[in-house]
Structure 1
Amino acid sequence: MNLSTQIQKQIKRFPEGKTFGYPDLDISREDFQSTAKILERLQGKGLIKKMSNGVFYKPIKTAFGELKPDYNEQLRPFLYENGKRIAYVTGTYLYNQMGLTTQLAVRVKIASRSKRININRGALKADAVKSYAEVTENNYALLGFLDAIKDIRKIPDTTVQNSVKILSAKIAEMDEKEIVRLIKYALLYPPRVRALLGAILDDLSKPENITMPLLNSINPLTKIDLGLNDVDLSTVEKWNIV
């Protein structure tokens, strides 16, 4: 099978609206130059469109014409490097998807440890923020969850109390292995994250040996000001939350 046929078969399997780049095509680096010419010909035939340098997509064909990929799919290429996830979307855009706020973000935030990712391309706008850990496919959802705890007083169009209820319900659905991983990353976050996570876990009656690393990481003289009382969360006193 020649390279052109191989690439066209791979692209044919991609769903409409999916973005892709060279790492998605299962080709060697030696074939990149030839692949560029093949992709240019496919663009000329209208089979694919170019989104940005090295990023393409199969247009969504409708009765009203061709559509670009949805917003999440347009962001996706910026979150990966050489086929590996290095970043994730956070901030109000993420918190809206988590059900914590109804407000929509004009600009999204992209968190990465190794790279500053700023985007300003038409409707696609994003600001770079530093993640608290190296981002991988296995941990980015947990890091986003911890970001929501960190920003709980800044989430728009809601209250801390309401956000605690929603986050508690999500934690209650996690198994013990996932909670242990959540705590592992929480230890990299500021004291207010460790304290509130510990208080929620205690309120959910999780074993003390699980939450002990969080409790031991917090200065017992530090007060965590979140505007909560024991009616909002029964364990706030133990975790010095006020």
Structure 2
Amino acid sequence: MGVAQNIQKQISKLADGVTFKYEQLDINPQQFLAAAKAIERLIAKGVIKRVSTGVFYKPKKTVFGELKPSEEEILKPYLFKKGKRIAYITGTSLYNRLGLTTQVPKSMKVASRDKRITVSNGNVKASPVKSYVEVTDKNFYLLQLLEVLKDFKKNPDLDKSSAIKILSNKLKELNPTETELLIKCGLAYPPRVRGFLGALLESIKTESDLTAIKASLNPLSEYEYGIDNKQLSTVENWNIK
């Protein structure tokens, strides 16, 4: 099978609206020039479209015309390197998706441990944030939960009682292995985040051992979140105010 046929076959298997890069296609280094020409021919035919340099998508056709990829889909190629996740979306965009805010951000935030990821692609913009631990497919959604705890006070339209219920439900959905990983990742975050995490996990009566979180905290320190024991019954056990 020729290079062009091989690429067209691979692209035909991709879902409409999904973004992809050259590295996601099975191309030998020696075939890169031929592959680039094949991609350009597919763009000319309208089979695929270019999002930005080296990033493409198959347009989804509807009765109302072609749909562009979602903002998160456009950002997706930046979240991976050689097929491995290196970053995740955080900030107001994440909080909106979790139902914690009604705000729609003008710019997203992308967290990564070792890479500063900045995106400016039409209306889709993203600025870099430093992740506290290395990002992987196994932990990125747990890190997103920790980011919510870290920025809990920064959200001006946050209903704290509703947010605590949403977060508690998310924690209840985790299996024991995921909870243990969450705790391990949480130990890399500031004390206030560790305290908040401990209070939430204790409130849902987790079976996981919270000793490591408790031992990492100064018993004389207090963490100001503006939360009372009616909103979270365990706040006093973790010096949260």
TM-score (norm 1): 0.95
Aligned to 2:216: 217
Q: Structure 1: which amino acid aligns with 2:179?
A: I
Corresponding residue SS for 2:133: coil
Cα distance, 1:195 vs. partner?
0.4
Cα distance, 1:34 vs. partner?
1.5
- 1:114-153 equivalent positions in 2, closer than 5 A: 114-153=114-153
CA distance in 1, matches of 2:205, 2:65: 54
Check conservation: 1:153, 1:160, Cα contact below 8 A: no
CA distance in 2, matches of 1:64, 1:234: 51
Task: Name the count of aligned residue pairs.
Answer: 241
CA distance in 1, matches of 2:9, 2:24: 13
Deviations 1:162-181 (A, max 9, x none): 32221112112222111111
Unaligned runs of 5+ in 1: none
CA distance in 2, matches of 1:121, 1:55: 11
Deviations 1:138-193 (A, max 9, x none): 11101001000111111231233332221112112222111111101000101111
- 1:58-137 equivalent positions in 2, closer than 5 A: 58-137=58-137
CA distance in 2, matches of 1:66, 1:144: 32
Deviations 1:106-161 (A, max 9, x none): 11100011111112221101111101111111111010010001111112312333
> Cα RMSD over matched residues?
1.4
Cα distance, 1:73 vs. partner?
1.1
Check conservation: 2:150, 2:192, Cα contact below 8 A: yes
Q: Structure 2: which amino acid aligns with 1:224?
A: Y
Cα distance, 1:88 vs. partner?
0.8
Unaligned runs of 5+ in 2: none
Cα distance, 1:225 vs. partner?
0.9
TM-score (norm 2): 0.95
Aligned to 2:9: 9
Cα distance, 1:197 vs. partner?
0.8
Aligned to 1:192: 192
CA distance in 2, matches of 1:8, 1:180: 43
Cα distance, 1:66 vs. partner?
2.3
Corresponding residue SS for 2:152: coil
CA distance in 1, matches of 2:105, 2:156: 10
Identical-pair percentage: 49
Check conservation: 2:100, 2:159, Cα contact below 8 A: no
CA distance in 2, matches of 1:187, 1:16: 40
Cα distance, 1:198 vs. partner?
0.5
Runs of 4 or more consecutive aligned structure 1 residues displaced over 4 Å after TM superposition: none
